[in-house]
Amino acid sequence: MNYTEKSLLALPLEYKKHKQEIEQCFKKLKKKKPKKLDTIVHELDSEVFENIDCLACANCCKTLGPRITYVDIKRLAKYLKIKPSEFSTIYLTIDEDGDYVFKTMPCPFLMPDNYCMVYDSRPKACREYPHTDRKRFYQLLSLTEKNLDVCPAVMEISKAIVKAFD
């Protein structure tokens, strides 16, 4: 078993163990908005993803329903050589927030080996996940908290953020 598979199995326990301290740290960071937060998080992102094999996990693709934009619909429809309206009918539904999301989970484009069938044309939300390399990270702290029990990399980065700002 590699690092990611072990981490995924241990994630519920890790989440329970570290949730409170991460939430408290993130609450302080939301108020302070430290200038060095982006630099620290981007370094942690690079470091953690050197040791994480997302293809061994794919928990995000199995459990999260990304928001699908009209640009995503057009790009995916073109890739699949169908009309955007046909793509929407076959693959999408509208959620409680009024956003387009996939009708089914896991993602309809996730293959058995955890590769993405539409990787080069995947939705923006998938391209940016888990958002730990974005600027103004303090704006993403709430989203990061939601991803703690989904992504082992987010858990590792979040625990390191707590240590960095303790």
pLDDT in tens, 11-67: 778 888 999 999 999 999 999 889 899 999 999 999 999 988 899 899 999 999 999
Does this model's pTM top 0.75? yes
Instruction: Print the domain residue range for 120.
Output: 65-128
Structure tokens at 124: 């923006």
Our count of domains for the chain comes to 2
Structure tokens at 101: 């999301």
Q: CB within 8 A of 38, min separation 6: which ones? A: 135, 136, 137
* 134 and 56 within one domain: yes
pLDDT in tens, 88-139: 999 999 999 999 999 999 999 999 999 999 999 999 999 999 999 999 999 9
* 154 and 119 within one domain: no
158: nearest Cα among 57, 31, 17: 17
Distance CA 85, CA 98 (A): 17
